[in-house]
Structure 1
Amino acid sequence: MAARKLHSEEWGQAEQIGYLEPLLISKGFRWQDLALRFSLPKRAADLKNQKIEMQILLEVFEYAAELIGDDAAILDYYSDMPHGAIPTFDYVALCAPSLRAALQNWQRFIALRTNCYQMTFTEDRALGILTWDVPDRLGPRTQNMFAKVAWASSRIEYIVKDPDMRLTVELTVPSPQCTSRFQKKYGNRLKFSQPRDRILIPGRYLGAVPPKSEANLYTLVETMAMAEVEKVLSLHDPITRIRAAINDHLKAGDCKLERVAKSLGMSQRSLQRHLEAEGTSFRNLTDMIRRSLASRYLRETNLGLKEIAFLLGFSDLSSFSRAVKTWFGVSPSQYRRDR
């Protein structure tokens, strides 16, 4: 069974899942051990140029760590990933005229990897700051964030080639129970349960020229990437906007059909037609988002149960507890203890 193409859902490039195959094999498992659980293709190579719902992609990463019994292995695996393994994203950085341009390119071309979160690069007086803004509604993301920061930091280090550079990595997700070389290398510069997912780069290194920087090759890579982005952004994507609006209204405590439709500049009937075209309804989509948010908050944060209930738009804790029991088969406290 091939991975579904999801042009009107919140998607990620499915080949990201395929990158896990060598890790599974190195730990004594097969690709099929992962593929069967999530109805993925029989060969990891068949994921190329496919899109998959982002929530499922994140679930695959979480399950892979559970399967191999090591919740820190992905940090080392992605840090060691060969250059060019993630073609466009590697090349628009490694062929760029400077580290600054490389980080700006990751922001420019993130649309090639997903349509539901952003990478941003900003500067202040002392730092360059690379940030991932992954919506909580997508659910737990610990392992996928480990992959992102380990891959990105290894590319930044390769570009700079200065052993004295000290990157700082901040993650919203909790610390793994296992340990890795990556954790030992970064020590107290790797911080968990932080407000943002980001890498802090000393500003004096932003002008560093990548070893593989080459003007003609860079022009070719950039042109191809820009053409791909234009193609992706030309796709009409109302469901992503609806999901984001529901997420915002849940947090504000006023998640009703008429309010969400008004905030999007749609009639209620128009919003319902978009959802019907995707085989869902406002109620079902809201419930799915609440479920994903509940899983994320219970598994990856220390927020109190009353606070989580409020953020999900429940009127009281007992209503939230009943919903969690329906979704996960256990109470909120038990679900959190099982993380």
Structure 2
Amino acid sequence: MALKGEWARADAISVLRDFCSKEDLDWPQIARRHNFDLSVLDDPKGIVPITVLDGVFETVAEELGDDARMFDLFHRIETGRFSIFDYLFACAPSLREGCKAWEKFLPIRTNAYSMIFRETETGGCIEWVVPEGSGKWQQNMFARIAWASRQIELALDVQAPPILIEMACRAPHGTSDFLRKYQGRIRFNAPHYSISFPKALLARPLQRNDSHLYEIIYKAALEELKSFGQMESPLSRVANEVASNLSNGACTLPKISARLGMSQRAVQRLLEKEGTSFRKLSEAIRRSAAERYLRSTDLPMKEIAYLLGFSELSTFSRAVKIWFGVSPRKVRDGPSRHMPVKGGIQGTLKTPKSM
């Protein structure tokens, strides 16, 4: 259920191209296959559709014949390759403030997914809320997690900080230095993509913190946020909010509207303008999430039902049968391809007009 107008900065592909410069990769062919102009990779503010970004990462992993390579490629990245976004974290007063900056300023990197920082009594967690139904994005997330882990290491000046990494997919077939480094602290088949920290680390001063420099960086980031904020997809905002609230009982029109700072009628009008409704959007997202959990993880059926907001396993099973025409078990055991849709759920979304 990828939405037209969902974009990401193209420099992540540029990094991938540069790191794989010694590999026998045909980048003009990759660009043709995914329908993007290679010149965008050299534009500091270049963007590509999120489906292009995800697709390129999957293609490169296939071409390299190594489904764990992204971890090592992006764990090599030093601070600054992604410009302001990197320095917002590296120069923050503390790990807590750095994570808050990632959450606030992710819209200068993409409008297709979000980052959420949460604190508990025992620690903190930064979570990536990724788009449902936009195709395969595991390789992109392998890169994101490895990059973020590296930035945390550099900011704390600790080679292997006591973090816990969770990945909402099966483990890759291959191995890597990154996976060996964090062996025992990476959990695959998790409900979310996230990195958690013990509470003691949250207030820890970061090595590069400079209050004057950080003020300059923060102001520059606010200006960039204004620029990229004009490219926001309103439907993506609603969809991301729905996706991040499936399991907590907050996936209702009144609660989602409140979280967006909009009236219920305003949300309804926005969705009507795009040819859909809150019910159709919620069901389409829930269906996409069901397919992802069933096909990309080994999570128990009861846990998947809970994550999707179903109070009973039987209700979840009936919904899957309506969506795909088969039981949850058959979806999981079926061939690795996109499932056909029963009842016309997919395609209910009219995509936003091009930016």
TM-score higher than 0.5: yes
Tell whether the 8 Å contact from 1:73 to 1:180 is kept in structure 2 after alignment.
yes
Contact map agreement 1:117 1:134 (CA 8 A) in 2: yes
The Cα offsets for residues 295-336 of structure 1, whole Å up to 9 and x where unpaired, read as 6345412366x979x9999867386259xxxxxxxx874433
**1:77 aligns to what?**
73
Q: CA deviation at 1:274?
A: 3.6
Note closer, same or farther for the CA distance 1:75–1:207 as it changes in structure 2 (3 Å cut).
Answer: same
Aligned equivalent of 1:204, options 184, 196, 200? 200
**Count of matched residue pairs:** 318
* Alpha-carbon distance change, 205 to 290 in structure 1, aligned in 2, over 3 angstroms: closer
CA RMSD of aligned residues (A): 4.3
d(CA) in 2 for partners of 1:95 and 1:249?
A: 31
Cα contact 1:140–1:296 (8 A) shared by 2: no
Deviation at 1:211, TM superposition (A): 2.7
What amino acid is aligned across from residue 140 of structure 2 in structure 1?
N
Structure 1 residues 1-339: aligned runs within 5 Å: 9-43=5-39, 45-46=41-42, 48-163=44-159, 165-234=161-230, 237-241=233-237, 243=239, 265=265, 271=271, 273-274=273-274, 293=289, 296-302=292-298, 317=321, 320-321=324-325, 333-336=333-336
Distance 1:246 1:157 in 2: 32
TM-score (normalizing by structure 1): 0.75
Q: Which runs of 5+ in 2 are unaligned?
A: 248-262, 309-313, 339-355
Q: Is the 8 A contact 2:11 2:82 kept in 1?
A: no
Contact 2:132 2:285 in 1 (8 A): no
- Asked if 1 retains the 8 angstrom alpha-carbon contact of 2:125 and 2:195, the reply is yes
Residue identity opposite 2:265 in structure 1? G
With over 3 angstroms needed to count, the CA separation of the structure-2 counterparts of 1:189 and 1:299, relative to structure 1, is same
Q: Percent identity?
A: 30
How far has the Cα of 1:113 moved from its partner? 1.2
What SS does the corresponding residue of 1:25 show, helix, strand or coil? Answer: coil
Distance 1:267 1:318 in 2: 27
The structure with the largest helix share of the pair is 1
Whether the aligned pair in 2 keeps the contact of 1:95 and 1:213 (CA below 8 Å) is yes
AA aligned to 2:145 is V
Deviation at 1:170, TM superposition (A): 0.9
State whether residues 139 and 293 of structure 1, in contact with CA within 8 Å, keep that contact through their aligned partners in structure 2.
Answer: no
TM-score when normalising by structure 2:
0.72
Structure 1 CA distance, aligned partners of 2:273 and 2:325?
Answer: 32
